[in-house]
Amino acid sequence: MAGSIDVKAPNPVDKHVGSRVRMRRMLIGMSQEKLGEALGITFQQIQKYEKGTNRIGASRLHHIARVLGVTVDFFYEGAPELGKVEGFAEASSGAYIADFLATSEGLELVRAFATIKDPKVRRRIVELAKALGQDS
């Protein structure tokens, strides 16, 4: 059926919130097991939250925020606006950046980049990354 909504697909906001949980958890070096223990749930439940397949309730999100040392607002930063119709050209760049930062490679790259003190070297690395990205 054209235009139908896949009810089994994760809600975009739930997926975004889950990716932000994952990003923050990885940024502070906490395993899914440790987060699950702190919340009194299994690491499999954490996986489902992080993928957006299970929705995180308000009190649980509040508890996650406390354990991860952020405010609840953190999880909604850059969230997609539901009901807003976007064309391909207007698609939010924040979504793919958040997805990248939620990977171990993304976090490792950000951590390494942040340790570079010389602003000229940092600028050259940005220019190199842009040039390499254009080649693909």
List pLDDT tens digits, range 69-101.
999 999 998 888 766 555 444 445 556 676 777
CA–CA distance, 115 with 14 (Å, rounded to integer): 32
How many angstroms separate the CA atoms of 125 and 113, rounded?
Answer: 9
Token pair for 118: 């010389």
Helices (H), the chain: 12-27, 32-39, 43-51, 58-68, 93-101, 104-114, 119-135
Domains and CATH numbers, the chain: 12-102 (1.10.260.40), 108-136 (no CATH)
Separation between Cα atoms, residue 66 and residue 39, nearest integer Å: 10
Burial 56-69 (b: 16+ CB within 10 A, else e): beeebbebbbebbe
4-35 pLDDT, tens digit per residue, is 555 677 888 999 999 999 999 988 989 999 99
Place of tokens 């952020």: 70
Highest mean pLDDT among 60-69, 96-105, 114-123: 60-69
For residue 74, the model assigns a pLDDT of: 93
